[in-house]
Amino acid sequence: MEINWIQEVEKRKDALLTDTQNFLRIKSVLNMEEATAGAPFGTGVAEALSFMLNKGEADGFVAKNVDGYAGHLEMGEGQELIGILCHVDVVPEGDGWTSDPYGADIRDGNIYARGAIDDKGPTIAAYYAMKIVKELELPLQKRVRMILGADEESEWRCVDHYFKKEEMPTMGFAPDADFPIINAEKGISAVHITMKPHVSKGGTVLQEFTSGRRLNMVPDYARAVLLSERAGEIAEQFASYGNAAVQGQQVTLEMKGISAHGSTPEKGENAGMLLAAFLQKQELDEGGTAFVSFAMEAFQDDTRGKRLGVAYADDITGDLTINVGTMSYQAQEGGAFGLNIRYPVTTDVDKMVSKIALYAEKRGFKAKQTSNSKPHHVAKEHMLIQTLQRVYEEQTGERAELLAIGGGTYARSLQAGVAFGPLFPGKEDLAHQKDEYIEIEDLVKATAIYAQAIYELAK
């Protein structure tokens, strides 16, 4: 049976775009202050999950909400289960957008919004792919299930909870990264380094320092509050770097950087590290000096862990990377650094953490790993890889190379799972950055690829 998949998507294009925009207009950022029994990640995330489940139920899919942690939409029959793993939550919008980050404006052939490329746009693409297969009444030998997580951008509590109650798919893909196919993902470790408070002796007192919202984002904003007889002078020196406000002997400094995904920290400019570099030139009190000096010694101009002694690379997934996602300091409470470490498949993670802990201990700090997601790799000979390669090459006319990434996708929660799109080779990636967008033409192409992939895997 010959099916023109692009043509099938084009027939539904207006509805595809409308649903994408409506989904993007929901601010589904984690908010634990709003958490309830049925909405464990806050009301915005719960609204986004309900949006997808209600839409699926209305379109004839079997819908299930798993305690607000996750949900699924299913079609087809059979013992085997094909999984499509998506997520409805997004990272905070950050600053500096040209338009409303939840406006889902269309301009120049693109849809602009937080979540457009990560992962709400691709989720709607995969949904319409399932819808096309269903509406064409194509014969399937396997069930197809879209699994909708609600905490992918934070701690993955969604899939942890989900798979305690629901079955593991035989194989599947996550439309949450790059085309052609990502079959290898680095491990992801969260390490927190802390320092105790010092008695404030001499110099300008660093009262507080804050930078970063999430470990998996390069901070685009940092703020420091100083107490000094030189407040006016410090403000003048800072004028070329950022904003300074003086109130008596107190001066508040605000630094802007450039956000980027935590897996590619070299693509951003870490506002916290930029502010620390300025503060290093000031004569700070003992506690402030300890905090700033450690930041510069351990992390300055280094996203590969060379300063910490943990630099490593392998042929499968490349370099280890470190993002200093959060930095905080209070004169009365001490300081902390939150690290997002993406490590290669062959890394000895225990040895890596031990080296960081020893480095910190020698300088009067403490380091502790607070979470660890192991690396993921699917062999190129696997039926899943072979099928997706064929579909991609038929749809695009281009070779389906296998890729490795530092980002963590839901694919790693499957025993046999890969990341599959939506970003096409050579296209700009603004996931986790200001003015995030998805090209409408690429959204249509991705939907066609997903539709054929679902059919080929499940027929």
**Active site residue ranges:** 89, 152
Could you tell me the end-to-end alpha-carbon distance of the chain, in angstroms, rounded to an integer?
A: 12
The three-point CA angle 366-367-370 to 5° equals: 135
Torsion of CA 269, 272, 274, 278, to 10 degrees: 170
User: Quick one: which of 98, 92, 134, 130 has its CA closest to 114?
Assistant: 92
The Cα 274–Cα 296 span in angstroms is 10
- CA quadruple 133, 139, 142, 143: dihedral sign: positive
Q: Let me know: does 230 contact 296? Beta carbons within 8 Å.
A: no
Contacts of 94 (CB under 8 A, 6+ apart): 213, 217, 220, 221, 259, 432, 433, 434
Rounded distance, CA 192 to CA 341, Å?
11
Lookup: tokens for 266: 């070299």
Q: Are 402 and 181 in contact (CB under 8 A)?
A: yes
For residues 147 and 49, give the distance between their C-alpha atoms in angstroms, rounded to a whole number. Answer: 11
Task: Measure the CA–CA gap between 258 and 65, rounded to whole angstroms.
Answer: 37
Q: Are strands 143-149 and 81-87 parallel, antiparallel or unpaired?
A: parallel
Cα–Cα dist 73/145, whole Å? 6
Burial class (CB in 10 A: 0-12, 13-18, 19+), 434: middle
> How does DSSP assign 369-406, residue by residue?
EEEEE--EE--TTSHHHHHHHHHHHHHHSS---EEEES
- The tokens 């960081």 sit on which residue? 356
Counting Cα atoms < 13 Å in the Cβ hemisphere of 270 gives: 34
